[in-house]
Amino acid sequence: MSSTTLFSPFQSTNLSLSNRIVMAPMTRQFSPNGIPTADVAGYYKRRAEGGTGLIITEGTTVNDKVATMDANIPQFHGEAALAGWKKVVDEVHAAGGKIMPQLWHVGMARVAEKAPFPELPSAGPSGLFKPGKQGAEPMTVAHIEAVIEAFAQAAADAKAIGMDGIEIHGAHGYLIDQFFWEGTNQRTDGWGGSMENRGRFAVEIIKAIRAATAPDFPIVLRYSQWKQQDYTARLAHTPAELEAFLLPLSNAGVDIFHCSQRRYWESEFEGSALNLAGWTKKLTGKPTITVGSVGLNDDFFGAFKGQDSGTRAVDDLLERLDAGEFDLVAVGRALLQDPNWAIKIKENRLDDLQQYSGKALATLS
């Protein structure tokens, strides 16, 4: 199977990439006190040198005291952290790559006692981490507005230090997804209730980012049906519901949707082979990124317990890409394991591809 399309340039209205391979955002708690070090720059530079077209960084937190759950997760605010990130950008660019930070607020996934500012309660639309698990009071409107502003400021800072765009982390049951999901958003004001109201927090973030950056600054939104709280949860059960969810986000200014699945080959709705990225592209007309077990045969949940995974051929992925189902392909663990994954695929060095070792998580170099 030819990988010509995978290694063809990507060109949209405001972003050009040398190929279709994207490094998926992967948290690594290697930034003491939230400040990315020279090691972080080296880690991303190696993936750029290895032929990855676009790097999306690990989740990096916006300026809200309760945005993070660990002091070693990098932050995206403050002079020292931004200087660290500037070094990352410069090294990736010098290696011929492109890079965007994944802007993150963990919401109710934060365990206060283990996080910075343990005296402060965690934040969520209804103070719920999952249905029935009340951990705090609902966020005040003033706090909601402050977090929207924090996302906008982070995006403005990303632009100022030369990032090629930003990704908003709207997936996996963290703060923005806690607004999207009925299970964690039980508000009765304008921020909860209907699908439109549950989407408003993200819509306002997207608009504020657009206003704080430039009309052509790339905005990627990552979202998922599944939640860490409930793998079977879904935001949309039908294409019509998915359309109602996506169109306000698209109209607010999302340039590219990053559609998180555990396995890219799984179809989203009965009666069609399209996956989540396929449906999202069809419904919005915007470019999309697919993700989930590319090059591997076990999904990533086991990775957090140190589980290994064997390799898997990518022929079916290339067929879908060739057919135009989606535009870009994000690769997580395979790139964690092997910075040269892209080059090896390009050169068809399939015997050189490595199994994913659960131990990779401990070093993440």
Ligand X SMILES: Cc1cc2nc3c(=O)[nH]c(=O)nc-3n(C[C@H](O)[C@H](O)[C@H](O)COP(=O)(O)O)c2cc1C
Nearer to ligand X, 46 or 138 (CB): 46
Instruction: Determine the interface stretch with ligand X among 12-20, 46-54, 194-202, 328-336 (rule: CB under 6 A).
Output: 328-336
Name, in order, each residue with C-beta under 8 angstroms of 71's C-beta and a sequence gap of 6 or more.
32, 33, 34, 115, 116
Residue closer to ligand X, measured from CB, 58 or 338: 58
Size of the site for ligand X (CB under 6 A): 24
Contact flag: residue 59 with ligand X (CB under 6 A) = yes
Three-class DSSP labels, 222-279: EEECCECCECCCCCCCCHHHHHHHHHHHHHHCCCEEEEECCCCCCCCCCCCCCCHHHH
Rg of the chain (C-alpha set): 19
Rounded to the nearest 5 degrees, what angle is found at the Cα of 170, between the Cα atoms of 257 and 95? Answer: 60
Determine, following the binding rule CB under 6 A, whether residue 337 of this chain makes contact with ligand X. Answer: no
> Binding residue for ligand X (CB under 6 A) from 293, 318, 325, 340?
293
Q: Is residue 130 within a helix (H) or strand (E), and if so which, with residue range?
A: strand 128-130
93-101, 192-200, 236-244, 290-298 -> range binding ligand X (CB under 6 A): 290-298
By beta-carbon proximity to ligand X, the closer residue of 138 and 163 is 163
Asked if residues 68 and 61 have their Cβ atoms less than 8 Å apart, the reply is yes
The least CB distance from residue 157 to ligand X, in Å, is: 19
Residue 332 touching ligand X (CB under 6 A):
yes
Provide the CA 192 distance to its chain's centre, in angstroms.
Answer: 23
Structure tokens at 24: 């998926």
3-class secondary-structure state, position 58: strand
Residue 25 binds ligand X (CB under 6 A): yes
61 binds ligand X (CB under 6 A): no
| CA–CA separation, 333 and 47 (whole Å) | 12
**Tokens 């994913």 identify what position?**
356
Binding mask 161-190 for ligand X (x = CB under 6 A): --------x-xx------------------
Q: How far does the chain reach from its first CA to its final CA, in angstroms?
A: 31
- The answer to whether residue 303 forms part of the interface with ligand X (CB under 6 A) is yes
The residue number with the shortest CB distance to ligand X is 332
Catalytic residue among 44, 174, 264, 356: 174
| Out of 15, 26, 136, 329, the residue judged to bind ligand X by CB under 6 A | 26
* String marking each residue 74-113 x if it binds ligand X according to CB under 6 A: ----------------------------x-----------
Establish if 69 lies at the interface with ligand X (CB under 6 A): no
Helix boundaries (H) for the chain: 38-49, 79-94, 141-160, 175-180, 195-212, 239-252, 276-284, 315-322, 333-337, 341-346, 360-363
Sorted by sequence, the CB contacts under 8 Å of residue 89 that are 6+ apart come out as 99, 161, 162, 163
Nearer to ligand X, 29 or 267 (CB): 29
108 vs 171 by CB, closer to ligand X: 171
Q: Is 288 a binder of ligand X (CB under 6 A)?
A: no
Q: Is 174 a catalytic residue?
A: yes
Q: Helices then strands (H, E): number in the chain?
A: 11, 12
Range in contact with ligand X (rule: CB under 6 A) among 80-88, 139-147, 179-187, 329-337: 329-337
| Range in contact with ligand X (rule: CB under 6 A) among 77-85, 142-150, 206-214, 288-296 | 288-296
Q: Does 291 bind ligand X (CB under 6 A)?
A: yes
Taking CB under 6 A as the criterion, the residue among 294, 328, 329, 342 binding ligand X is: 294
Residue 281 CB, shortest distance to ligand X, in Å, is 18
CB 109 within 8 A of CB 181: no
Crossing angle (nearest 10°) for helices 276-284 and 239-252 = 60
Residues in the site for ligand X, rule: CB under 6 A?
A: 24-27, 58-59, 102, 169, 171-172, 222, 260, 291-294, 296, 300, 303, 331-334, 361
Residues belonging to the active site: 174
